[in-house]
Structure 1
Amino acid sequence: MSNDVFAGLDWAVHTHAVCIIDAAGAVLDRFEVAHDRDGLAELKRRLLRHGPRLRIAIERPSGLIVDALVEAGHEVFPIHPNAVKASRPRYRSHGAKSDASDAYLLADLLRTDGHRWRALAQQSDDIRALRALVRSRDDLVAARVAAANQLTATLQAFWPGAACIFADVASPIGLAFLRRYPSPRSARRLTEAQLQRFCKVQHYSGRRSAEDLLSRLRAAAPGRVGEHTEQAMADVVRAHVAVLVPIVGQITDLTRRIEQFMHSLPDGLLMMSFPRAGQVCAAQILAELGDVRERFPSADLLAAEAGAVPVTYQSGKTRSVAFRWACNHRLRQAITCLADNSRHANDWARSTYQAARARGCDHTHAIRILARAWLRVIWRAWTDRKPYDPALHGGLAKLALTGGG
């Protein structure tokens, strides 16, 4: 590795600005490459002129450009955009920004403060595949929620009953109902027997009878729209349903693929061994955690990455503790989901949560405290490559001895 050469890459959608400097901070090379096949090939050639293995700073920890650099044998150091933004006043007093200047800033930060960051370690192909599946599913779930909210708002405006007849308007049976009955007029003559047959065809598994469902539909506030408006709104409902149906189907398919994949991975079985981790939540944690053990040499580093510990500000006699915003948000969401689920199946988790609530913490704060506690256990199991064993869980054993829970 060339210890006296540092590179900074300011990435963008179409072009990337690159700056290469020496140990004294002098610019050795500065150029831009396009984000295409030829551009990436040119990037590798220009970097190779300064050594076979360079240290390169970039503002993102993943993506095609990062994969290309790591596969080429370079050490890639992701630097958080907040750190880059806070460092700009060191180089210029004005507020102007350019890709070229940020590329130099990244390279120089790596030269002067490189000991503060860790180089990316390439994850296995299995983890990269799992991460692609999990993140794509998460994005589709977010799209489903947004589309379902739009559909609900549309129904509330002219037919509230259809929004509440089933628990979830975007469930398969809820969408099937709206596809068949998109307006009050279309369901005006709907009978209990017809609704019962519909539910049977759709394999409705809810506990409400057709009579109860029909009562919910009829009891809702009636819409107050004209005939032409109702027809237009029905067309809008059909459009929303047409968007939601394939999204819901793809989420189901991806969920099935993730579940199958998790059972084929040793670390997948490890992560699913935790109480109420399930398969999707365990996959979300593993996808962000990865399989490179050197990435998190301590549980504290993992907790900071997951945003499960606060940030302390102290100056003189002033001291404050604030929520940690800069973290891996996907990992935080997954680990808090595990923590929330676990308190319903694990005595130690329930006791930890209740103790936090007794100290005056609200629900979300107590869940983060429990998540922080679980991260210590997860880190140890992940580091030792051993599934969760309640018999080896010191906190659970201590709780059993004291008769708690």
Structure 2
Amino acid sequence: MSLEDGPLFFVGIDWAATAHAVCVLERTGRKVAAFTIEHTAAGFARLAARLDKLGDTELTAVAIERPDGRLVDALLEAGHPVMPVKPNAIKTWREAEVLSGAKSDPGDAHVIADYLRVRIHRLRPAVPYSGSTKAVRAVTRTRGDLVDARVAAVNQLAALLDAHWPGAKVIFASLSSAIALAFLTKYPTAASAASLTEKRLAAFCAKQGYSGKKPAAVLLARLRSAPAGTTDPDLSEGARVAVLAQVGVITALNTAIKDLDRAIAEKIDAHPDGEIFRSFPRAGTVNAAQILAEWGDAREAFGHPDAIAALAGITPVTKASGKQRGVSFRWACNKRLRQAITTFADNSRHASPWA
């Protein structure tokens, strides 16, 4: 018997950080087993051993509210069909099936297993990605997280300068640039820049290799035209420490992002599909790697181009009832893939003469 004939057992796993509740149902809905495993190597081994006793792993389907992770990897490596299910879908199913509103981890595992048993024909099994694709995903996702962290750190630095030294915020175009960070390292407070002259500023810019087109006179005018900075000695000292701390955070993030950029270039060059994705008009290296990482190399998982478009959240959702009909934004999607695809769309229009 194959999976197409229907699994013999349906496993629901309620995922948690330290322990996972497991429920096993047979085709009729009768509960075969219910137990809890720890999120450890021993716990994973115990789960594998319990599921192996049920027979052919290909006929023991598993549903879990996660599309990836080490537990999902272990189940896929063991040969189980793994069906990622959406938490909102399980929540709605539980509310319809558990009228009392009772909720527990073992109860949720049972709900997930029953959802899988009833709706398996509508669910798509997870397809394991290759090691090279996982490597690209690891570095691109980490880079995305660090870019978000840098945006937050720059906003915090901007708020700090607004409160204590507004001029330092506007002298250069970007607070995360090397020249702006070097300036704040040398002049973290208004008091430290009190004796700054046009000649000294020009010398500083030359030493830093400033490539901006604004002469020192313009930059100094920006600095002096902003509201005056804090002059209280005690407050200035506190602001100095705070500014240097934020500068250190942003500098470290800049270095880490550059290191990841190099790693991304190496990973996509080594990927079998790297050349295909890098051929996208103006996708570049990082954006091409982001698309590849989220799209993956298991193309058989998408039966039609509309499927990948829906996954990326770039197709609208139509809601019609009676005489009313509306088209709305698609919220349920892979958010990272949507960002990658929309970034590519924006970049590619610059390579099109009619866009």
TM-score, with normalisation over the residues of structure 1? 0.83
Counterpart residue number, 2:336: 330
Q: Distance in 2 between matches of 1:205 and 1:305?
A: 42
Contact 2:190–2:231, Cα closer than 8 Å, also in 1: no
Q: Distance in 1 between matches of 2:101 and 2:353?
A: 54
Deviation at 1:71, TM superposition (A): 1.1
Counterpart residue number, 2:23: 19
Counterpart residue number, 1:129: 135
Deviates more, 1:130-139 or 1:73-82: 73-82
Q: 1:31 aligns with which of 28, 35, 44?
A: 35
Alignment of 1:166-245 (within 5 A): 166-245=172-251
Q: Distance in 1 between matches of 2:307 and 2:73?
A: 23
Question: Is there any run of 5+ residues in structure 2 with no aligned partner, and where?
Answer: none
Deviation at 1:173, TM superposition (A): 1.9
- The total of aligned residue pairs comes to 349
Deviation at 1:67, TM superposition (A): 0.8
Deviation at 1:225, TM superposition (A): 4.9
Deviates more, 1:267-276 or 1:250-259: 267-276
Deviation at 1:40, TM superposition (A): 1.2
* Amino acid aligned to 1:177: F
Q: Distance in 1 between matches of 2:78 and 2:210?
A: 54
Deviates more, 1:219-228 or 1:121-130: 219-228
Deviation at 1:274, TM superposition (A): 1.5
SS in 2 for 1:229: helix
Matched, 1:9 2:13: yes
Distance 1:224 1:182, change over 3 A: closer
Q: 2:96 aligns with which of 85, 90, 96?
A: 90
Distance 1:225 1:312, change over 3 A: farther
TM-score, with normalisation over the residues of structure 2? 0.95
Alignment of 1:30-179 (within 5 A): 30-53=34-57, 54-179=60-185
Contact 2:313–2:332, Cα closer than 8 Å, also in 1: yes
Q: 1:258 aligns with which of 254, 258, 264?
A: 264
Distance 1:193 1:94, change over 3 A: farther
Q: Deviations over 1:233-274 (max 9, x none)?
A: 111111111222111100110011102222222322111212
Contact 2:168–2:223, Cα closer than 8 Å, also in 1: yes
Contact 2:129–2:296, Cα closer than 8 Å, also in 1: yes
Q: Distance in 1 between matches of 2:182 and 2:128?
A: 45
Matched, 1:319 2:325: yes
* Amino acid aligned to 2:37: V
* Amino acid aligned to 2:304: S
Q: 1:282 aligns with which of 276, 284, 288?
A: 288
Counterpart residue number, 1:304: 310
Q: Distance in 1 between matches of 2:299 and 2:65?
A: 22
Q: Distance in 2 between matches of 1:325 and 1:96?
A: 28
Q: Deviations over 1:99-129 (max 9, x none)?
A: 1111111111111110111111111100000
Q: Deviations over 1:41-64 (max 9, x none)?
A: 111111111124121001110111
Q: Distance in 2 between matches of 1:129 and 1:261?
A: 7
SS in 1 for 2:351: coil
Deviation at 1:202, TM superposition (A): 2.3
Counterpart residue number, 2:346: 340
Contact 2:167–2:229, Cα closer than 8 Å, also in 1: no
Q: Distance in 2 between matches of 1:165 and 1:33?
A: 57
Deviation at 1:211, TM superposition (A): 2.1
Deviates more, 1:102-111 or 1:222-231: 222-231
Deviation at 1:306, TM superposition (A): 0.3
Could you list the runs of 4 or more consecutive aligned residues of structure 1 that deviate by over 4 angstroms after TM superposition? Answer: none
Q: Distance in 1 between matches of 2:262 and 2:333?
A: 29
* Amino acid aligned to 1:173: I
Q: Distance in 1 between matches of 2:103 and 2:209?
A: 58
Deviation at 1:174, TM superposition (A): 1.5
Contact 2:313–2:335, Cα closer than 8 Å, also in 1: yes
Q: Distance in 1 between matches of 2:246 and 2:320?
A: 51
Contact 2:135–2:267, Cα closer than 8 Å, also in 1: no
SS in 1 for 2:273: helix
Deviates more, 1:208-217 or 1:108-117: 208-217
Question: Is there any run of 5+ residues in structure 1 with no aligned partner, and where?
Answer: 351-405
Q: Distance in 1 between matches of 2:230 and 2:175?
A: 21
Deviates more, 1:26-35 or 1:46-55: 46-55
Q: Distance in 2 between matches of 1:180 and 1:342?
A: 40
Q: Distance in 1 between matches of 2:353 and 2:104?
A: 55
Q: Percent identity among equivalent residues? A: 50
Deviation at 1:198, TM superposition (A): 2.2
* Amino acid aligned to 1:62: D
Q: Distance in 2 between matches of 1:124 and 1:201?
A: 47
* Amino acid aligned to 1:116: R
Q: Deviations over 1:346-395 (max 9, x none)?
A: 135x1xxxxxxxxxxxxxxxxxxxxxxxxxxxxxxxxxxxxxxxxxxxxx
Q: Deviations over 1:308-337 (max 9, x none)?
A: 011111112221111111100000011001
